[in-house]
Structure 1
């Protein structure tokens, strides 16, 4: 049986510690580069919009707004068509605004009910 030499154990331990230190240095550099990339203004904006777009409340709001705006626009076009009379244009815009608000509020209630049922 070979006698264990304390010097060799110490050398092996030092070697293992140096390897561990080199590995941790690589990990630290990777984390540094990742942090620098994530703190760039463009990436911050992308992440913020990405998180907002994934929430169901935000999706419901977008959907209800799109439905409301589309309905208001279509109602204005169907009822007034394309007119050159400035008074009819103003009344058409007001009508579009009112219909958009009514439909948006109504679709908000229905999306809330649907999200509560899920």
Structure 2
């Protein structure tokens, strides 16, 4: 009977050790999920992007050039054609928009 009690005690100790291990793994997993969710939050992504953006001056130039050319193209299309229902005017407007955007981008990169 002593052997049976020893095995039963050994089994209980093993079960306690496994529960503790499972609890530790669960706590580590919860912590990792928290850190991952913090890392993937849109505000965190935006902050990391802005930090990277500030480190590299050529990014600023590229973004400013792109935004300026897109806005310039859009405004030129709206100024020349407004809100048109004609398919021909829409196609011409898109052509003017693309041309103006490329023209502005080209002028900004050469200066």
- What interval of TM-score do these two structures reach, taking the shorter chain for normalisation? 0.5 to 0.7
Question: How many Å separate the matches in 1 of 2:46 and 2:80?
Answer: 41
Q: Look up the match of 1:62.
A: 63
1:28-55 residue CA offsets vs partner (Å, 9 max, x unmatched)? xxxxx8xx948x6527845651343112
Q: How many residues align?
A: 76
TM-score of the two chains, using structure 2 as the length reference:
0.55
Alignment of 1:48-59 (within 5 A): 48-54=48-54, 55-59=56-60
TM-score of the two chains, using structure 1 as the length reference:
0.53
Question: How many Å separate the matches in 1 of 2:67 and 2:47?
Answer: 23
Question: How many Å separate the matches in 2 of 1:74 and 1:68?
Answer: 10
Alignment of 1:26-37 (within 5 A): 37=35
Structure 1 unaligned residues grouped into runs of 5+? 1-32, 111-118
Alpha-carbon offset, residue 86 of structure 1? 0.6
1:79-109 residue CA offsets vs partner (Å, 9 max, x unmatched)? 1121110111011011101110110121122
- RMSD, aligned CA: 2.6
Structure 2 unaligned residues grouped into runs of 5+? 1-30
> Taking structure 1 as reference, are residues 78 and 48 closer, same or farther at Cα in structure 2, changes over 3 Å only?
same
